[in-house]
Structure 1
């Protein structure tokens, strides 16, 4: 089973998993990490490395972070050189549609590559604006 590690600023990762559990039920094979004020960045990096190692049962780990090029992302990216024996993909911009898709893909037995591609698509496709969507719906019903 592919592991899933969610790494964010503050309690966002925990909140996302709380929402996911409400929608999909309790899950396993994942961890959440939150960077808080005053946290030592070296210790935080070690927690990320430990999480990847613990979650990788041979199928790799999907690492989802909140912001590109911010501390959670940077620390997860720096782990690549230290964790050459572990396969993982790192995606920034984690949101609930992305997370749901990642867990759905895992439930149907998708591999890490398929999971990360599907999660990225769902994350992007899950961003909508109401008036634009109403206009699209009206346009398609007029055809």
Structure 2
């Protein structure tokens, strides 16, 4: 099963873990978050991420999801990316994450594509205004 690591600005990662526990009615296995603090040492963050990837990888690979491309958490992840073993995507959303968790028994490439599709289809305009003629 593909492991999932969230690398986000604090406190987003833990909030996403709590939201997933709510949706799936309990904790999700092989799923962790590292919430990066504003003044946290980057070398320390990198070590934490590397250790988490080792814990999460059962041989199926790890998907690392970060919040903002170019931010500190994302920049730390980029150095850990290893095609086919550790894939990194940015722009976390709950639809993205739920889709990744749902498909994580598939290959890492499929999990990445499903997560990205979840993010794209999950961002929609909700419009409840009354339209003329209705």
Same fold (TM over 0.5): yes
Supply the RMSD in Å over aligned alpha carbons: 2.0
Q: Spell out the pairing of 1:100-115 with structure 2 (5 A cutoff).
A: 100-106=98-104, 109-115=105-111
CA shift at 1:110, angstroms?
1.0
Match of 2:86 among 85, 88, 101: 88
**Are positions 1:2 and 2:2 aligned together?**
yes
Unaligned ranges ≥5, structure 2: none
**In 2, Cα distance between equivalents of 1:71 and 1:37:** 9
More helix per residue: 1
Unpaired segments of 5 or more residues in structure 1? 139-143
Offset at 1:131?
2.5
State TM-score, norm by structure 2: 0.89
Which whole-Å CA distance do the structure 2 matches of 1:79 and 1:96 have between them?
23
TM-score, normalization by structure 1? 0.84
- Segments of 4+ moved more than 2 angstroms: none
Match of 2:43 in 1: 42
How many residue pairs match? The answer is 130
